[in-house]
Amino acid sequence: MTTDAGRRGMFWDMLAGKVPPPPAAALLGWELVEVDPEAGTIEVAFQAGERFANPVGVVQGGFLAAMLDDTMGPALVATLPEDQFALTLDLQVQFLRPARPGRLVGRGRVVRRGKDVCFLAGELLAPDGRTVATATATAMVRTTG
């Protein structure tokens, strides 16, 4: 896991244990594996519980979409100064194969960062390394205040 003692803000405070993770991240079992703010990339893991399963026993697509959103968003947030945050404006998800309950790995990156609008991409991998879903997103950067 990469942390940067010189960085400040809610994301970094959460990693340092100063503030709890957001409730949605806790529900999804979000865990940072690695982050590179300079490259705008992140790798996270999720624990998809049995309660995320649909009637046929695979993870319901809405949970996969939430995991992808909670992968790409932090890739961007890790690059921002402490007084800024990001809002997802658009999320496009492609479901490629069923995901079974268990550990899933998300990889996200900032594709292009403008002054206010940013484009993101991500993928969600099963334990065998096969991609179960991909996504793109558009996010807007805002300043707290």
Q: What is the pLDDT of residues 85-139, one digit of tens each?
A: 999 999 999 999 999 999 999 999 999 999 999 999 999 999 999 999 999 999 9
End-to-end alpha carbon distance in the chain:
31
Q: CATH classification of 10-143 is 3.10.129.10, yes or no?
A: yes
**How many Å apart are CA 125 and CA 68, to the nearest integer?**
10
**Segments making up each domain of the chain, as ranges:** 10-143
- Kindly state the tokens that stand for 35: 């982050």
Work out the burial of residue 119: count CB atoms within 10 Å of its CB; fewer than 13 is exposed, 13-18 middle, 19 or more buried: middle
Contact yes or no for 86/101 (Cβ under 8 A): no
Check pLDDT > 70 for residue 1: no
Residue 58's pLDDT is: 97
Residue 5's pLDDT is: 56
Contact yes or no for 122/111 (Cβ under 8 A): no
| Alpha-helical runs (H) found in the chain | 10-15, 23-28, 61-77
pLDDT in tens, 51-84: 999 999 999 999 999 999 999 999 999 999 999 9
Residues 6 or more apart in contact with residue 19 via CB below 8 angstroms:
10, 13
Query: Which pTM was predicted?
Result: 0.93
